[in-house]
Amino acid sequence: MFRCLLLRNLHKALLMIDSLLSYHPEAALRLLRPGRLAGLQHALEAARDATLNDVEIWQSGEPVPPERQPLDAGFIQWPEELLADLQSNRGESLIARLESTGSRLRQLADSLVVLGIGGSYMGMRAMFEALRPSCWNELSRSERDEAPRLYFDGWNVDSDRQHELLSLLERRAVASPDAPAGRTAIISISKSGGTLEPAVAFRAFRDFVEQRFPGMDRDLVVPVTGESGRLRSLAEAAGYRDVYSIPEGIGGRFSVLTAVGLLPAVTAGLNIRSLLQGAATLTDHFRRAPFEQNVVLQFVAVCHAFEADHGMNCRVLSTWGSRLEAVGLWYDQLLSESLGKHERGATPLTVVNTRDLHSRGQQHQEGRRDKLITNLLPGPPVLAPVAVAAHRLDQDRLNQLAGTTLPRILDAAIAGTNQAYAEAGRPTADLQLPGLSEHSLGQLFQMLMLATVVEGRLVGTNPYGQPGVEAYKRNMQANLGIR
């Protein structure tokens, strides 16, 4: 009880520092029959209860009822549990240990390669692109506050790409063999260790580290894996200094706030405490907020109503600016693997605007009426706004915009696009972040994960497990003669 009270007080304090993300579906609601969302209230509150009941079943240790299997509901309580662990155990907590490992990797190496596929890498990629400069790897070590350059591999089978990265890391090792600038650290992420793409990549990058930095591989390589499996066995045989576990009861696409995402994030200098606090704040909101004010329930209600009533089974996450595309790609996996079962489930599509207004925008404006568009809005810019400059040569007629900032132009584009869609009877809703920060991104991750589970419970689809993904793995390994 004391732990829960501490967390609730912490949540209240955080809400005063960094406000909650908000959902604005008013434009879309004009295209629904009056009272449609109110008619879903009872069913959605029951789905919320079922989602929270999943946690109780998971925590009880009792056998999971057959109709609920598999059950990977551990992500719901996880941020709160980590924060409580931090308050109780301080330096011995998982958060403190992750921070210590991240600090050590920053001191030892100037390049970090994160190996993983699907949920084992997409969440960290989303955080990296949202919260780090696009030119991060070109900045000097001091400009990066001693944090490493960051690379991703093991998420595809691409010989040329892997060769290019290994060659780049080799050249750095030759140039600075005894300095952090020449060293590469590896975080290898796989729950079983049996997924072929990251396993093959780990063999290549592990061999590089062992050959180039003899005697240092125990410190430079950190696996994140399950309590058993091939990667766990390999880690024990190699004697790596640190090995982190992926908790039981948390599936890959729900694992962004475990060591899967937290270890690379803290190594890259991100504030994982704030990330977890944002997620915990959103979970508390999900439990307590009434239907009309509940961001999760309102989001699910609108998505479900348009799919059920209007056949809009294509969900476009329209990210504005450049930083949130990878968040959309993370959500693509979350929605597809969770609800794409039994010949049902909406199809997600991520676009980046204004870029894709010049490609997909035509289809969204005048194509099939099968799309619900959710604008993901990042909030105010992190850096000082760039403005249009006056110039003596005005043949481009831009002096009329002199002094206008790019955020102002983006706002005009958002408003103009929403107006065009409204005039054509195309539904849009806005999901507004208070700004781009670890806290707001933690909120967004947790909100979308909870919404996905609630919708699954609403429509009778188990949101956990991904049996369809296993078919290609079996066939690929059979084609290679792997036993």
261 and 317 assigned to the same domain: no
28 and 119 assigned to the same domain: no
Catalytic residue among 42, 163, 391, 473: 473
Mean pLDDT of 1-19: 42
Q: Is the dihedral of CA 461, 466, 470, 473 positive or negative?
A: positive
Distance CA 384, CA 350 (A): 27
356 and 264 assigned to the same domain: no
Please check whether residue 251 lies inside any domain of the structure.
yes
The 10s digit of each residue's pLDDT in 368-423 is 999 999 999 999 999 999 999 999 999 999 999 999 999 999 999 999 999 999 99
Active site residue 337: yes
46 and 99 assigned to the same domain: no
Please check whether residue 26 lies inside any domain of the structure.
yes
Dihedral, CA of residue 205, residue 206, residue 211 and residue 214, to nearest 10: 130
Distance CA 192, CA 233 (A): 10
Where does a domain end: 245, 270, 295? 270
Residue 137 structure tokens: 């790897």
Strand order in the sheet with 371-377: 22-24, 428-432, 371-377, 314-320, 347-353
- Mean pLDDT over the full length of the chain: 94
109 and 251 assigned to the same domain: yes
66 and 170 assigned to the same domain: no
Please check whether residue 472 lies inside any domain of the structure.
no
* pLDDT reading at 136 higher than 70: yes
Active site residue 342: no
- What is the band of 10 on the pLDDT scale with cuts at 50, 70, 90? very low
Question: Parallel, antiparallel, or unpaired: how do β-strands 347-353 and 371-377 relate?
Answer: unpaired
**What pLDDT sits at residue 160?**
97
- What is the band of 476 on the pLDDT scale with cuts at 50, 70, 90? confident
Please check whether residue 250 lies inside any domain of the structure.
yes
Where does a domain end: 250, 270, 290? 270
**What pLDDT sits at residue 302?**
98
* pLDDT reading at 85 higher than 90: yes
Distance CA 452, CA 335 (A): 6
* pLDDT reading at 17 higher than 90: no
CATH code at 325? 3.40.50.10490
Catalytic residue among 26, 62, 67, 358: 358
* Residues near 32 by beta carbon (within 8 Å), at least 6 away in sequence: 305, 306, 309
Please check whether residue 470 lies inside any domain of the structure.
no
Active site residue 358: yes
The 10s digit of each residue's pLDDT in 153-195 is 999 999 999 999 999 999 999 999 999 999 999 999 999 898 9
* Residues near 338 by beta carbon (within 8 Å), at least 6 away in sequence: 253, 452, 453, 456, 461, 463, 464
Residue ranges making up the domain that contains 294: 2-71+275-388+400-459
The 10s digit of each residue's pLDDT in 417-462 is 999 999 999 999 999 999 999 999 999 999 999 999 999 999 999 9
159 and 245 assigned to the same domain: yes
200 and 308 assigned to the same domain: no
**What pLDDT sits at residue 18?**
57
Catalytic residue among 197, 337, 438, 455: 337
286 and 404 assigned to the same domain: yes
Please check whether residue 482 lies inside any domain of the structure.
no
210 and 61 assigned to the same domain: no
Instruction: Tell me if 322 sits within 8 A of 379, measured CB to CB.
Output: no
Please check whether residue 31 lies inside any domain of the structure.
yes
Calculate the alpha carbon distances from 9 to 15, 79, 93, 362 in Å.
10, 15, 20, 48
Distance CA 366, CA 369 (A): 8
The 10s digit of each residue's pLDDT in 271-293 is 999 999 999 999 999 999 999 99
Give whichever of 11-20, 55-64, 406-415 has the largest mean pLDDT. 406-415
3-state secondary structure labels for all residues of the chain: CHHHHHHHHHHHHHHHHCCCCEEECHHHHCCCCCCHHHHCHHHHHHHHHHHHHHHHHHHHCCCCCHHHCCCCHHHCCHHHHHHHHHHHHHHHCHHHHHHHHHHHHHHHCCEEEEECCHHHCHHHHHHHHHHCCCCHHHCCCCCCCCCCEEEEECCCCCHHHHHHHHHHHHHHHHHCCCCHHHCEEEEEEECCCCCHHHHHHHHHHHHHHHHHCCCCHHHHEEEEECCCCHHHHHHHHHCCCCCEECCCCCCHHHCCCCHHHHHHHHHCCCCHHHHHHHHHHHHHHHHHCCHHHCHHHHHHHHHHHHHHHHCCCEEEEEEECCCCHHHHHHHHHHHHHHHCCCCCCCEEEEEEECHHHHCCHHHHHHCCCCEEEEEEECCCCCCCCCECCCCCCCCCCCHHHCCCEHHHHHHHHHHHHHHHHHHCCCCEEEEECCCCCHHHHHHHHHHHHHHHHHHHHHHCCCCCCCCCHHHHHHHHHHHCCCC
315 and 166 assigned to the same domain: no
**What pLDDT sits at residue 1?**
35
Which has more pLDDT, 476 or 110? 110
The 10s digit of each residue's pLDDT in 215-244 is 999 999 999 999 999 999 999 999 999 999
Instruction: Domain count for the chain, please give it.
Output: 2
Where does a domain end: 229, 248, 270? 270
Token look-up 């056949």 returns: 311
> Which residue type, as a one-letter code, is found at position 435?
G
Question: Parallel, antiparallel, or unpaired: how do β-strands 428-432 and 22-24 relate?
Answer: antiparallel
Please check whether residue 311 lies inside any domain of the structure.
yes
266 and 295 assigned to the same domain: no
Name the phi and psi angles at 314, rounded to 5. Answer: -115, 120
